């Protein structure tokens, strides 16, 4: 059975993301599509990607990743903004690795593009008004 | 002088006062010039909305039966310790106060989910607040224990009283170290990964009256959504700093102590803040009207972001260690563009105070004045100015030595 999943890989700065992804493709015959890649302020690597292939290969891939010390988060969590709580300060703007927050130059309000969000959770604690919430 | 405050107030009462915001005045002066606008416009309104840590509120909860005296005992609001060193039933809650059992920065960075600022926000929203007090008991105040809900509507007084707000300019923060730091200027990424600033710039009250010509003790203001007053100069008021050619300080300078009836305020303009790794605070909305009494006052009020500068400070070493040295100056226009250059490196910027809320405050205050609901006041006394000799002194430590251990403080 073929499956396709969107996942976020969290890896230590000592692990090189590139080589891991190559192994997934070569040895496990998984197709991948990297949606985004960043390094967080804690210098943790983040890779957001779509993985597809045979279910058994996918399982094997997941096992391989955990052996490598990579934490896999599936993208079924949503981070949403409470519009009443948000004060449009801007503390989140340069924290988000996915650049989901932008300043509207005319109104100076902070726009949140939920579709760019990769649910890494960094903004949740960095928002002093606690306007960002994780929904499962 | 072109007009007096009394004359402006008469126009306000007749609904004829010409009021514009500190943003609108920039455009007006660009189009018509200072001379003309100074004659046409009566009041320029300013606004700012940001974390102002030196904030708090005092309340009087009324006397219980039998009576209790908090003074000398302890009292908590929603688990957050208050200052109870007054008489029987007065309490002061500071915005940075934390529950005794908050883990603080034990696991760094701490989350600081609930503190004094949040208690003030909950109180002003009309939520019931848990009051727990312990006292030692006297013949006239026998009770030793009190646990009850209280609500702002039942309190005798609830007064917001902030010892230091509305900073005239503020540091622009970066981190030159190799690890992320968590500060009251937000999360600062390593190797100058981002820059944060916290001033409304061209809308900020004291930047638009740089020599405190109209803002003084007794000035009536927009405070937390209600009406408040300037009570005194704020703590750390420091008028005699480096100023630009336009007279505006290029670093933190004047401050205001403000006071007002908490019962009139609302939580849109008083918000508990949780600064990751730093602590709790209170975001406060303040708006101050500037009466246009002269061309000089108008030209100060019309200074724009391009001509207002902040000083870049390294929060990884200079700031915490109180060492001199800066990374230069940058205009608020540059800061608001989203990117500045420091030592040849392009660094993304972000504000920590809400400029959109500042615009809203200046607009609300303008409307209040236009509708005749808000009249201007003459300052009772001026704020200490450049020549006052007032300065911001550092602490000169005088070690206590041997005696220190004997007092049993820690
Ligand atoms: S940090 Fe929070 S309150 Fe500030 S703009 Fe972002 S989401 Fe809104
Ligand atoms: S969780 Fe927050 S910081 Fe992370 S990608 Fe989404 S919006 Fe950006």
pLDDT at B404: 59
Integer-rounded Cα Rg, in Å, for chain A is: 17
Q: Which of B47, B122, B186, B192 to mutate to test the interface with A (most CBs of A within 10 A)?
A: B186
Provide the CB-side half-sphere exposure for B56 (13 A, CA): 19
Assess whether A16 and A64 both reside in one domain.
Answer: yes
Assess whether A29 and A93 both reside in one domain.
Answer: no
Q: Residue B140 catalytic?
A: yes
Among chain A residues, CA nearest to B195: A94
Assess whether A59 and A88 both reside in one domain.
Answer: no
How crowded is residue A4: how many other Cβ atoms within 10 Å of its Cβ? 12
A108 to chain B, closest Cα gap in Å: 5
- Annotate B40-65 with b (16+ C-beta within 10 A) or e (fewer): ebbbbbbbbbbbbbbbbbbbbbeeee
Assess whether A29 and A84 both reside in one domain.
Answer: no
pLDDT reading at B394 higher than 60 = yes
User: Which band of pLDDT confidence, cut at 50, 70 and 90, is reported for residue B88?
Assistant: very high
Do residues A48 and A34 make contact, with C-beta atoms less than 8 angstroms apart? yes
A37, A54, A75 - which closes a domain: A75
Q: Which of B48, B49, B121, B189 to mutate to test the interface with A (most CBs of A within 10 A)?
A: B189
Assess whether A64 and A89 both reside in one domain.
Answer: no
A75, A90, A108 - which closes a domain: A75
Assess whether A57 and A117 both reside in one domain.
Answer: no
- Mean pLDDT on B70-78: 98
Establish, for the pair of chains A and B, how many residue pairs have beta carbons separated by less than 8 Å.
76
User: Which band of pLDDT confidence, cut at 50, 70 and 90, is reported for residue B403?
Assistant: low
Contact B283 A87 (CB under 8 A): yes
CATH number for the domain including A52? 3.30.70.260
The ipTM is 0.93
| Centre of ligand 2 from the C-alpha of residue A124, in Å | 8
Q: Is the CB of A110 under 6 A from ligand 2?
A: no
pLDDT at A76: 65
pLDDT at A42: 67
Ligand 1 atom with least separation from CA of A130: 2
Q: Mean pLDDT over all residues of chain B? A: 96
User: What percentage of residues in chain A have a pLDDT greater than 90?
Assistant: 36
Q: Is the CB of A123 under 6 A from ligand 2?
A: yes
pLDDT at B400: 87
Secondary structure (DSSP) of B237-272:
---SS-B-TTS-BSSS---EEEEEEGGG--TTSEEE
Ligand nearest, relative to CA of residue A80: 2
User: What percentage of residues in chain B have a pLDDT greater than 70?
Assistant: 98
**Of the ranges A22-26, B220-224, B285-289, which one carries the lowest mean pLDDT score?**
A22-26
CATH number for the domain including A104? 3.30.70.20
Nearest CA to ligand 2 atom 8: A96
How crowded is residue B400: how many other Cβ atoms within 10 Å of its Cβ? 10
Cα separation values, A52 from A56, A66, A72, A78, B117, Å: 11, 18, 15, 21, 48
Assess whether A10 and A54 both reside in one domain.
Answer: yes
- Mean pLDDT on A29-54: 81
Q: Is the CB of A127 under 6 A from ligand 1?
A: yes
For the stretch B188-218, pLDDT in tens is: 999 999 999 999 999 999 999 999 999 999 9
Assess whether A34 and A96 both reside in one domain.
Answer: no
Assess whether A42 and A67 both reside in one domain.
Answer: yes
Closest CA to A100 of A75, A86, A80, A85: A80
Residues B155 and A80: their CA atoms lie apart, in Å, by 37
Nearest CA to ligand 2 atom 4: A120
Among chain B residues, CA nearest to A87: B354
Assess whether A18 and A59 both reside in one domain.
Answer: yes
Interface of B with A in 335-364 (CB under 8 A): 336, 338, 348-357, 359
Which domain range does residue A53 map to? 2-75
User: Which band of pLDDT confidence, cut at 50, 70 and 90, is reported for residue B108?
Assistant: very high
User: Which band of pLDDT confidence, cut at 50, 70 and 90, is reported for residue A33?
Assistant: confident
| Selected catalytic residue, list B15, B108, B139, B140 | B140
Q: Name B40's Cβ contacts closer than 8 Å, sequence gap at least 6.
A: B18, B28, B32
A75, A98, A120 - which closes a domain: A75
| Chain A contact present for B281, CB below 8 A | yes
Q: What is the CA A42 to chain-centroid distance, rounded?
A: 14
Assess whether A100 and A113 both reside in one domain.
Answer: yes
Contact A89 B190 (CB under 8 A): no
Residues from chain B contacting residue A43 (CB–CB below 8 Å): 190
A81 to chain B, closest Cα gap in Å: 16
Nearest CA to ligand 1 atom 4: A89
User: Which band of pLDDT confidence, cut at 50, 70 and 90, is reported for residue B405?
Assistant: low
Q: Is the CB of A90 under 6 A from ligand 1?
A: yes
For the stretch A74-122, pLDDT in tens is: 776 789 999 999 999 999 999 998 899 999 999 999 999 988 888 888 8
CA angle A52, A54, A58 (to 5 degrees): 65
- Mean pLDDT on A32-60: 82
Do residues B326 and A65 make contact, with C-beta atoms less than 8 angstroms apart? no
**Given A103, A126, A128, which is nearest B51 (Cβ)?**
A128
How crowded is residue B253: how many other Cβ atoms within 10 Å of its Cβ? 24
B188 to chain A, closest Cα gap in Å: 8
pLDDT at A71: 86
Contact B356 A41 (CB under 8 A): no
For the stretch B213-258, pLDDT in tens is: 999 999 999 999 999 999 999 999 999 999 999 999 999 999 999 9
Assess whether A98 and A127 both reside in one domain.
Answer: yes
For the stretch B271-283, pLDDT in tens is: 999 999 999 999 9
Closest CA to A77 of A130, A135, A5: A135
pLDDT at A73: 81
CA angle B304, B299, B245 (to 5 degrees): 70
pLDDT reading at B410 higher than 60 = no
């Amino acid at each position: 059975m073929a499956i396709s999943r969107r996942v976020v890989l969290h890896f230590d700065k000592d692990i090189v993301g590139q080589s891991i992804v190559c192994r997934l493709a070569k040895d496990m015959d998984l197709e991948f599509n990297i949606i985004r890649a960043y390094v967080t302020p804690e210098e943790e690597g983040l890779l957001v990607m779509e993985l597809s292939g045979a279910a058994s290969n996918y399982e094997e891939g997941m096992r391989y990743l955990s052996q490598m010390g990579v934490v896999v988060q599936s993208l079924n969590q949503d981070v949403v903004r409470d519009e009443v709580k948000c004060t449009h300060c801007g503390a989140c703007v340069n924290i988000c690795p996915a650049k989901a927050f932008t300043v509207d130059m005319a109104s100076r309000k902070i726009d949140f593009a939920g579709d760019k969000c990769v649910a890494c959770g960094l903004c949740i604690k960095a928002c002093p008004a606690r306007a960002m919430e994780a929904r499962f | 002088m072109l007009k007096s405050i009394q004359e402006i107030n008469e126009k306000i009462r007749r609904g004829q006062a010409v009021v514009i915001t500190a943003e609108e005045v920039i455009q007006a002066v660009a189009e018509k010039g200072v001379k003309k606008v100074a004659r046409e416009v009566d009041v320029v309104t300013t606004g700012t909305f940001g974390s102002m840590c030196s904030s708090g509120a005092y309340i009087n909860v009324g006397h219980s039966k039998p009576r209790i005296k908090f003074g000398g005992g302890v009292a908590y609001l929603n688990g957050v310790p208050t200052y109870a060193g007054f008489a029987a039933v007065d309490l002061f809650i500071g915005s940075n106060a934390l529950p005794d059992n908050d883990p603080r920065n034990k696991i760094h960075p701490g989350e600081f989910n609930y503190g004094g600022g949040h208690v003030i926000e909950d109180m002003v929203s009309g939520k019931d607040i848990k009051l727990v007090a312990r006292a030692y008991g006297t013949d006239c105040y026998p009770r030793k224990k009190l646990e009850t809900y209280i609500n702002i509507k039942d309190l005798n007084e609830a007064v917001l009283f902030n010892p230091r707000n509305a900073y005239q300019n503020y540091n622009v923060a970066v981190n030159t170290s190799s690890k992320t730091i968590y500060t009251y200027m937000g999360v600062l990424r390593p190797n100058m990964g981002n820059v944060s600033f916290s001033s409304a710039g061209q809308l900020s009250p004291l930047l638009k009256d740089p020599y405190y010509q109209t803002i003084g003790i007794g000035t009536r203001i927009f405070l937390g959504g209600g009406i408040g007053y300037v009570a005194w100069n704020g703590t750390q008021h420091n008028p005699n700093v480096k100023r630009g050619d336009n007279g505006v300080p290029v670093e933190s300078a004047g401050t205001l102590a403000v006071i007002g009836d908490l019962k009139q305020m609302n939580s849109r303009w008083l918000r508990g803040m949780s600064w990751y790794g730093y602590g709790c605070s209170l975001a406060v909305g303040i708006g101050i009207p500037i009466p246009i009494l002269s061309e000089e006052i108008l030209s100060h009020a019309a200074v724009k972001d391009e001509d207002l500068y902040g000083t870049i400070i390294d929060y990884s070493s200079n700031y915490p260690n109180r060492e001199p040295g800066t990374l230069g100056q940058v205009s608020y226009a540059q800061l608001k563009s989203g990117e500045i250059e420091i030592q040849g490196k392009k660094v993304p910027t972000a504000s920590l105070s809400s400029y959109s809320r500042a615009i809203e405050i200046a607009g609300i205050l303008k409307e209040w004045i236009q509708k005749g609901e808000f009249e201007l006041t003459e300052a009772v006394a001026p704020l200490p100015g450049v020549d006052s000799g007032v300065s911001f002194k550092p602490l000169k430590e005088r070690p206590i030595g041997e005696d220190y251990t004997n007092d049993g403080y820690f």
